[in-house]
Chains A and B, each alone.
Chain A
Amino acid sequence: MTDPRIDALQAAVAADPTNVALVGLLADLLVDAGRIDEAVTLQAGLMAAGDLGPEDALVLTRRALDVDRLDVARGALEVARGGGLVEGLAELEASLQQAIARRGVALDAGPDTAPSLAEDVNLTFAEVGGMDDVKKLLHRMIILPFVRPELYAKYNRSAGGGVLLYGPPGCGKTLLARAIAGECGLPFFSVGIDDVVSPFQGQAELNVSEIFSQARDLRPAVVFIDEIDAIGYARQRAQGEMGRRLTNALLQELDGVGRSTEGLLVLAASNAPWDVDSALLRPGRFDRRVFVPPPDEAAREAILDVRLRGVETSGVDLRALARASELFTGADLRATVERALDEVIETVLDTGEEIPVGQQHLTSALAQVTPSALDWLARARDYVEFSNASGQWADVESYLGQRAVRRRLTGR
């Protein structure tokens, strides 16, 4: 049986999803109606947008723990902590650790050991708009060996190993990596420069080692190294010792991938694969490389749809806009929509008449934004041309060979 108050509030929230008060009210009603999971999803959306206050984050942590949404609980707890709350945090942290242990995700962390770095990821490919070709490739290459190990075992192939996702910034590499972990249902260890670099001599290498050690203990697991070009930078070009030492540490850990750490999938993302140390790209390490191109038409349409959600529009043809925005990244599309909205606001201020966003506003904004991926593609073209290693980057070569890409690059 539906509650008319919930229905009314849901309509109001759909019209203005960033209204914190409305979302809070709706979440409370949903909880009262026993629909805690929906309430958690709603508030998690606010948290992802950075609109959740610390008090609300604390409430969300409790609710997420109640419905076993541990990833949300962890995030909310961090928001509450970051917001300066102290009271009740220790108790919730303990509950969270117990819940993680129950699910077999946590380590037996004694007082002297590092806290668990694993995350639970609920994201799946279904939630990543478009990019069907890349998703299919990743499904075959990475997910199936985990899901149907017996098939791969017959052909003496096993799950795990290293895969490098590379492409222009803002094209969804991190999102895809998280979706891979979600599809496989594996604990996810995300590693970035912030997690590794330390001012203390030797600590950075220890940090790398600690992350891999935790991941090995939880096998099968996914380790995701973001911006691997910064952690595994080409040693001969590094201007200091830290860069070289980090690359060596990473190489040591990856050499274990082929030997004793079967079941450990090491994903890496890079905007600058040409800066990655060549030893990391050799067989047994990141020998499988997947080019993540700028969003395709379907993905662009989905992004535009999300960006325009909650905004009054009239006669907007998203498909036509998606067709006209070849090579635009998610960030470029956001900039386009923002420009169009600014133009509409200008008109409203000038005329005093409120008008909806029309196709002409978006088309004119589209013409003013230059695809940011062009710079990256020009560098990739130079790299493929000068490196004499064309066979290794066949997918990006074939992308660069497309008429639309060639035309845009020639016009620069």
Chain B
Amino acid sequence: MTSESALARAEHWLEVGRPERCLEELARAGAEPDPHGFALQAMALRQLERWQECVDVTARGLALAPDDLELRFQRAVAVEQLGDVAQAERLLLSCLEAQPRHVVLLTGYASLLLRHGHPDEAERVLTRAAAEAPGSPDVEMARARLLMARRRDADAVEVVRQVLAQDPTRADALWLLGALEHERGLSRQAAPRLRSAALSNLDDRELASGAREVGREARWFAWPLRLVRRLPDAAVVPAQLGVVLAAALLLGYRPTQAAGAVLLAAFLVFVAWFWVAVLVSRAASRRNR
């Protein structure tokens, strides 16, 4: 059995966001962990997104302590990532059977339902969670995602703003609000939020590159992109076609003066840039979300 000191150190490494050091500490301790040690190991592996190892560790832990809720919860998260949604749901339901008022379990289950296309059931579970812990930031964040799934982005923004009013440094809220604002063409507001979110997790290279891209879009020369973002998705392609049509009309006009030629060339370059930039930027936005 792992010594208490080693477990305390392993737990500390997890607390300070160093899952790899937590695993090293447990490995250094040598002995086969007890259920708590297995749970720490599973949490670290989950943070490192080493899903199969997480499943293996929870299996060993659950063989020792079949009723351990922490191990079952970690296993549910890992098996869902590996594509076994049915098992994940079974595990979460078994946890909820033992602890029907556990807010983390309720929120986790609602998130799973939402991710797999059951927003109505997710809402019911979230209502239960909200009744247990009114105003809980975790529950509110899950509610914001539910609203986004229902395309009620404006309501989602309100919810996330309330979460940030409680904790202005909360990274996932900053990121979600930044992504929502970016999609609505408010890149100048989104950029600092996304920078703060990226700052809180420098290990995530995608966060950093997303924040950087939005930062670029917040510059003055990207104003047409911000304009396009305010349009609904369905209006983007017609707008682009309109610009191309305008270019074609201009091409039909034969300028006789050099200034006219320069103007036309500049317009064509702008059209090309506009067309490509919108597509690239849309893709970046989808990735960030």
Contact = CB atoms under 8 A, between A and B. Distances in A.
Interface of A: 193-194, 197-199, 229-230, 233, 236-240, 242-243, 274-275, 378-379, 382-383, 385-388
Interface of B is mostly: helix
6 contacts: A197-B9, A198-B5, A198-B8, A230-B16, A230-B18, A240-B14
Interface residues of B, number: 27
B182 to A, nearest CB: 16
B16 A197 contact: no
Top 10 A-B residue pairs of the complex, sorted by shortest distance between their CB atoms: A199-B8, A199-B4, A240-B15, A233-B16, A386-B195, A379-B202, A382-B208, A243-B15, A386-B199, A239-B15
A336 B206 CA distance: 30
B7 A199 contact: yes
Given A236-B169, A382-B202, A275 B11 contact: no
A275 B208 contact: no
Interface in B211-226: 211-212
Contact of B11 (A233, A242, A379): A242
B8 A197 contact: yes
A193 B14 CA distance: 13
Interface of B: 4-5, 7-9, 11-18, 21, 167, 169, 195-196, 198-200, 202-203, 205, 208, 211-212
B16 A243 contact: yes
A320 B67 CA distance: 62
Contact of A238 (B9, B15, B198, B211): B15
Contacts of A238: 15-16
Nearest to B43: A239
A239 B17 contact: yes
Nearest to B201: A237
Contacts of A387: 199
Nearest to B170: A236
Consensus secondary structure, chain A interface: helix
B9 A386 contact: no
B11 A383 contact: no
Given A198-B5, A386-B211, A242 B199 contact: no
Given A197-B12, A239-B14, 13 more contacts: A199-B8, A230-B16, A230-B18, A237-B169, A240-B12, A243-B15, A378-B205, A379-B202, A379-B203, A382-B202, A383-B199, A385-B195, A385-B212
Contacts of B15: 233, 238-240, 242-243
B202 A230 contact: no
A274 B199 CA distance: 8
Given A229-B16, A382-B208, A193 B199 contact: no
A243 to B, nearest CB: 4
Contacts of B9: 193-194, 197
B63 to A, nearest CB: 25
Given A198-B5, A379-B203, A275 B17 contact: yes
A382 B13 CA distance: 23
Contacts of B200: 237
Given A198-B5, A199-B5, A386-B196, A243 B12 contact: yes
Contact of B12 (A230, A274, A275): A230
A248 to B, nearest CB: 14
Contact of A274 (B169, B202, B205): B202
Nearest to A240: B15
A334 to B, nearest CB: 19
Contacts of A198: 5, 8
A387 B192 CA distance: 10
A378 B202 CA distance: 9
Contacts of B14: 239-240
A242 B12 contact: yes
Given A230-B13, A238-B15, A240-B15, A383 B202 contact: yes
A270 to B, nearest CB: 12
Contacts of B13: 193, 230
A242 B203 CA distance: 23
Contacts of A193: 9, 12-13
A378 B198 CA distance: 13
A193 B11 CA distance: 12
Contacts of A388: 195
Nearest to A236: B169
B17 to A, nearest CB: 7
A224 B148 CA distance: 49
- A193, A238, A240, A388: which has the most chain B beta carbons within 10 Å? A193
B2 to A, nearest CB: 11
Given A199-B7, A239-B17, A382 B198 contact: yes
Nearest to B207: A382
B250 to A, nearest CB: 38
Contacts of B205: 378
A242 B11 CA distance: 9
Contacts of B212: 385
Contact of A237 (B7, B17, B21, B198): B17
A180 B207 CA distance: 39
A25 to B, nearest CB: 35
Nearest to A412: B205
Contacts of A242: 8, 11-12, 15
A67 to B, nearest CB: 34
A129 B16 CA distance: 33
Contacts of A199: 4-5, 7-8
Nearest to A383: B202
Contacts of B196: 386
A240 B202 CA distance: 20
B202 to A, nearest CB: 4
A327 B244 CA distance: 49
A243 B17 CA distance: 10
A230 B17 CA distance: 9
Contacts of A383: 199, 202
Contacts of B21: 230
Contacts of A275: 16-17
Nearest to B194: A386
